[in-house]
Amino acid sequence: MGDKTLDIENVYTAYDKADVLEGVSLSVRPGRITCLLGSNGVGKTTLIRSILGLTAPREGRITFGGRDITGMSTHRVIATGIACIPEGRKVFPKLTVTENLRIGAYQVKAEAAIRERMNEAYEIFPRLAERRSQLAGTLSGGEQAMLSIGRGLMSSPDLLLIDEPSLGLSPLFVKENFNVIQRINERGVTVFLVEQNVRQTLAISHYGYVLGKGRVVAEGEPDTLTDNEEVNQAYFG
């Protein structure tokens, strides 16, 4: 199956015949946090949808671990070892914390494996352990963000796609969530982090890409991107 690199090659994705992504190419290498930066409306979420098979590219190729997943159905993409934390958290409000986590392990048959992964999630997020019987809809925004990440980890993914984890959160919870993402990566999970929060994202990333109007306009290691004049003008004012 190869080395579990996610490769996106010359991808064009369209809605109603209008291209949102125009020839996007990038790689997410195993063991690293790779970020995709860009403002609203440049195509970041469309790229995640393309990877997950929710909106199939009209042109180009997406491979994971050397396997072509372009346009594959979403449940088959997930089965290859990819999980996604969607924008806006999206927990099941009328289910408990524990029930939400179990949904993340829907493809896991062994009860012992589910319990082990749940214990790992509670180890990463002690606050969720304290609230395991609480309805998800009664959690704070930051706690729901934790639950969303914990649920994504329940499938024990090789690659975790995280879409805008700082959206709508207080600065304190943003900092806490970015620390958690870093710890998850240190446990061996590859992360593809899609964000607008440039400073904190570059602080934990190993490599990054900048998307502008459906195209990659810059790429490099964090220091390179911070020093890039185009990136500075667009994001640092």
Task: Report the DSSP beta bridge partners of residue 6.
Answer: 28, 64
Q: What is the pLDDT of residue 1?
A: 40
At 125-158, the pLDDT tens digits run 999 999 999 999 999 988 998 999 999 999 999 9
At 64-80, the pLDDT tens digits run 999 999 999 999 999 99
* Residue 200, phi then psi, degrees to nearest 5: -70, -35
Question: Within the chain, which residue ranges are assigned CATH 3.40.50.300?
Answer: 1-81+159-170+189-232
Whether residue 51 has pLDDT greater than 90:
yes
Q: What is the pLDDT of residue 188?
A: 93
Residue range 1-81+159-170+189-232 in CATH 3.60.10.10: no
Q: How far is CA 199 from CA 40, 55, 135, 163, 208, in A?
A: 16, 30, 34, 16, 12
At 157-200, the pLDDT tens digits run 999 999 998 888 888 888 888 999 999 999 999 999 999 888 89
| CA pair distance 23, 57, nearest whole angstrom | 10
| The dihedral formed by the CA atoms of 214, 58, 162 and 207, expressed in degrees to the nearest 10 | -60
Determine the average pLDDT of the residues in 4-19: 94
